Chain A
Amino acid sequence: MEFDGTTFALEIINFLVLVWLLQHFLYKPVTTIIAQRQAGIEKALADAQATRSEADAIKRQYENRAAEWGQEKARASQQMQQEIAAERSRLMTALQASLDEERNKLRAVEQRRAAEQRQRLEAAARAEGGRFAACLLSRLASAELEERIRRLLLDELPQLPEQQMQVLRSAGQAEEVKITSAYALDEAQRAGLVAALDRLAQKPVACTFEQDPELMAGLRLSLGPWMLRASLLDELKFFAEADHAGTKR
């Protein structure tokens, strides 16, 4: 146990040098690298936390957006349903109107067809009646019937419309009244007719007489375009051509 001053001093210096050497070559590099790693870990944690926060924010944003989309979808669906209902109602109304119009058209066409059919049937009935009456009257026609028709004509001549009387009265001297009969008229019958015409025309009228068996019975008086029919044939024609009961000769 001896104390050496040189060793004592050198050991103090040695230790201080060793402190500097280890500080330079060991503590400082190791603590620096540990601090760098710690900083890196903290930075990675901070980045991860920031990334997580950002992801959470994005997640919340997308959830909100999805909710808004859902609401928008519901609104659009409801609006679309309303528009579909309105369009359906409008189309149904239009279709109903079109159907009503088409039904009215069909009804009018049907009515027109029925009227035409009725007219055809009436015309056919009249033609059939005319043929039947002609057949019947041709068998009943006779001179006596003609005489009766001539008397009837003479009775009704004064009751002719004033317009027809003016035709007779305005006839010239050269114009003749042609009197056609189914049977031959004797002189008395012809004189009676001429006298009646003279009275009607209020002047002497020239008359010519013809016989036409087609008339079956009766007379036909004609002066130019004016014609007065009083025969069975003409009556049957009137009957066949008349379309309604209101038709007059």
Chain B
Amino acid sequence: MASSSSFITEVFRIGPLTITNTVVVTWGIMLVLTAAAWAATRHLGLSPGRWQVMVEGIVAAIEEAIRAVLPDHYRQVMPFIATLWIFIVVANLVSLIPGLRSPTGDLSLTAGLAILVFLAVHWYGIRSHGLKSYLRHYLQPNPILLPFHLISEITRTVALAVRLFGNIFSLQMAALLVLLVAGFLAPVPVLMLHIIEALVQAYIFGMLTLIYVAGAIQSQQLKHNQKKE
């Protein structure tokens, strides 16, 4: 782990836009994931091979996890949630490759993902119940709770961004410090912890997103069902 790769650096500029190593690594991840997806699904057949079984297993597991939370809308939210999981896992683990830095250790990226989650929650909520019906849930059970709802929307978005950024950044810093203090092989246990932490943080981010989206969709749905009954 070179010290230069552990921090956000400018790679090049396009006019007024500054392209950092976070964006470049993200593009690399996107390229690798797209190429892997294309290679994995190029020769899909009804009699699957080992590689197809593994890919189908991953997709089916993600789909099943989403279906467990949102049984009626899992197809609708699956691309977004699944991409969050896959991208964050790969982005968290990419720092294990020497010379690369996890883009999730950049607050700009985690904030962007958190903003996307914030927008997606409202997008799915409005898409499911309409704008008025969706906005009405901020006034329930009592309009006096509206400020708290608004504060909750902001804080949970900020928490998403900061939680992922803080954990990954701190892990990278801890690994760098241990490497500097202890020597060549000492950071290995820390790197193993990094793997676990990367998977856990990806899972937490995706699952929280799923719960937020499900809350937006099902809060109005439950009220509709109660009215029908």
A25 and B38 contacting across the interface, CB-CB below 8 Å? yes
Q: With A15-B112, A21-B34 as known contacts, state yes or no: A7 contacts B23, CB within 8 Å.
A: yes
Q: A7-B18, A15-B87 are in contact. List 5 more A-B contacts (CB 8 A).
A: A6-B18, A7-B23, A11-B109, A15-B83, A30-B41
Distance in angstroms from B10 CB to nearest chain A CB is 9
Interface string of A23-34 (1 = CB under 8 A from B): 101110111011
| B82 pairs with A4, CB closer than 8 A | no
Bound together, the chains give a CA A22 to CA B38 distance in angstroms of 9
- Asked if A226 is an interface residue, CB under 8 A from chain B, the answer is no
Question: Which residues in B have some Cβ–Cβ distance to A below 8 Å?
Answer: 8, 17-20, 22-23, 26-27, 30, 33-34, 37-38, 40-41, 44-46, 48, 52, 55-56, 59-60, 63, 78-80, 82-83, 86-87, 103, 106-109, 111-113, 115-116, 165, 169
Task: Find A12's partner among B19, B79, B112 (CB 8 Å cutoff).
Answer: B112
Q: Does A37 contact B (CB under 8 A)?
A: yes
Question: B8–A4 contact, CB under 8 A?
Answer: yes
A51 within 8 A of B: no
Once bound together, how far apart are the Cα atoms of A10 and B11, in whole Å? 14
Judging by beta carbons under 8 Å apart, are B107 and A1 in contact? yes
Report 8 cross-chain contacts, Cβ distance below 8 Å, ordered by A residue.
A7-B8, A7-B109, A14-B30, A15-B113, A25-B34, A33-B52, A34-B56, A36-B46
Residues of B within 8 A of A9 (CB): 112
Determine how close the nearest CB of chain B comes to the CB of A32; give it in whole angstroms: 8
DSSP class of A's interface residues: helix, strand, loop or mixed? helix
Q: Is the CB of B22 within 8 A of A26?
A: no
Tell me the smallest distance from the CB of B62 to a CB of chain A, in Å.
Answer: 9
Chain B residues closer than 8 Å to A31, beta-carbon distance: 59, 63
Number of residues in A with C-beta < 8 Å to the partner? 32
B111 CB contact (under 8 Å) in A8, A21, A23: A8
Give chain A's interface residues, CB within 8 Å of chain B: 1-12, 14-19, 21-23, 25-27, 29-31, 33-34, 36-37, 40
Q: In the complex, A23 Cα to B62 Cα: how many Å?
A: 13
B108's partner among A8, A15, A27 (CB-CB below 8 A) is: A8
Q: Would B55 and A1 count as touching, CB distance under 8 A?
A: no
The chain A residue with its CB closest to the CB of B10 is: A4
By a CB distance below 8 angstroms, the chain A residues around B80 are: 19
A25 touches B23 (CB 8 A): no
Contact A30 B59 (CB under 8 A): yes
A18, B23: Cβ atoms under 8 Å?
no
Closest to B17 in A: A6
Least CB separation from B8: chain A residue: A2
For residue B109, which residues in chain A have a CB less than 8 angstroms away from its CB? 7-8, 11
- Say how far A196's CB is from chain B's closest CB, in angstroms: 152
